[in-house]
Amino acid sequence: MTAAGLVALGDSFVEGRGDPAPAGGYRGWVARLGGQLGLRPAAVRNLGVHGATTSDVVREQLPRAARAELYGVVVGVNDLVSAFDPEAFEANLNTLFGALRATGATVFTADYPDIPARLPVPDGFRGLLRERFAFANAAMARVTADHGVLLLDLSARSEWERAGTWTEDGLHPSPSGHRLFAASAAELISSTTATTVAA
């Protein structure tokens, strides 16, 4: 990985909530991934904002995303747990990934594990949320395939169902969860790079 570095866009998952830094603020998987890729801290830029939706990322973060060799994007949960618009959600993903891939950079993202299982909500609403998350995962699979974006499939990984991977609120990864995501992303990026070089 060169000094072009890593730019991360998204919500509080990207911001690093759940993984407090000793000096205040958050460490999170973005900084951890940068370290695993051998990047200087100055070469890693984290644009993640608590509460951001896909519309917010397209409107506010995408224009501020510096050119980079690698982009990481995790966003969508705030769309799913509020007034969900399926068409706008998928359109925003297409806009976001299309713009980032047009730079020639490598782009990676992740789908959604069973977050509704951990939320303190009525069973009826939990069922509605699970339908939304299922739609979102299918949309994420379509859009990433269309744009050549690397997809980390959290929904298929049992470790993301463990209580210790999450904070008590059920929405944000614990320090262990952030470490797990960073390691998984590094493995995905490295394996893809190795395959490309071999080809």
CATH of the domain at 180: 3.40.50.1110
1 lies in a domain?
no
- CB-CB contact of 89 with 76 (8 Å): yes
- Establish if 69 belongs to a structural domain: yes
Mean pLDDT in the chain? 92
Range(s) of the domain holding residue 81: 6-198
Q: Flag whether 81 is in a domain.
A: yes
128 within a domain of the structure (yes/no): yes
Q: What is the pLDDT of residue 194?
A: 47
pTM: predicted TM-score of the whole model, two decimal places: 0.92
Query: Per-residue pLDDT for 163 more than 80?
Result: yes
The strand pairing partners of 74, in sequence order, are: 10
Question: Is residue 120 situated within a structural domain?
Answer: yes
For residue 133, what are the CA distances in angstroms to 39, 111, 127? 33, 9, 10
In a domain, 60, yes or no: yes
**How many H helices and E strands in the chain?**
7, 5
pLDDT digits (tens, 9 = 90+) for 6-17: 999 999 999 999
Percent of the chain predicted with pLDDT > 90: 84
Query: 106, exposed or middle or buried, with CB in 10 Å at 0-12, 13-18, 19+?
Result: buried
User: Looking at residues 43-53, what average pLDDT do you find?
Assistant: 97
Tell whether 163 is covered by a domain: yes
pLDDT at 118: 86
| Cα 42 versus chain centre, distance | 21
Would you tell me how many other CB atoms lie within 10 Å of the CB of residue 171? 18
Confidence of residue 24 (pLDDT cuts 50, 70, 90): very high
Residue 135 CA to its chain's centroid (Å) = 17
Residue pair 147/95 in contact by the 8 Å Cβ criterion: no
Confidence at 170, pLDDT banded by 50, 70, 90: confident
Number of domains comprising the chain: 1
Angstrom distance (rounded) from CA 147 to CA 91: 13
Q: What is the pLDDT of residues 98-146, one digit of tens each?
A: 999 999 999 999 999 999 998 888 999 999 999 999 999 999 999 999 9
Residue 123: inside a domain:
yes
88 has pLDDT over 90: yes
Which residues fall within 8 angstroms of residue 143, CB to CB, at 6 or more apart?
90, 93, 94, 97, 149
Q: Which of 140, 139, 70 is nearest to 107 (CA)?
A: 70
Judged against a pLDDT cut of 50, whether residue 161 lies above it is answered with yes
198 band by pLDDT with thresholds 50, 70 and 90? very low
* Residue 84 banded pLDDT, cuts 50, 70, 90: very high
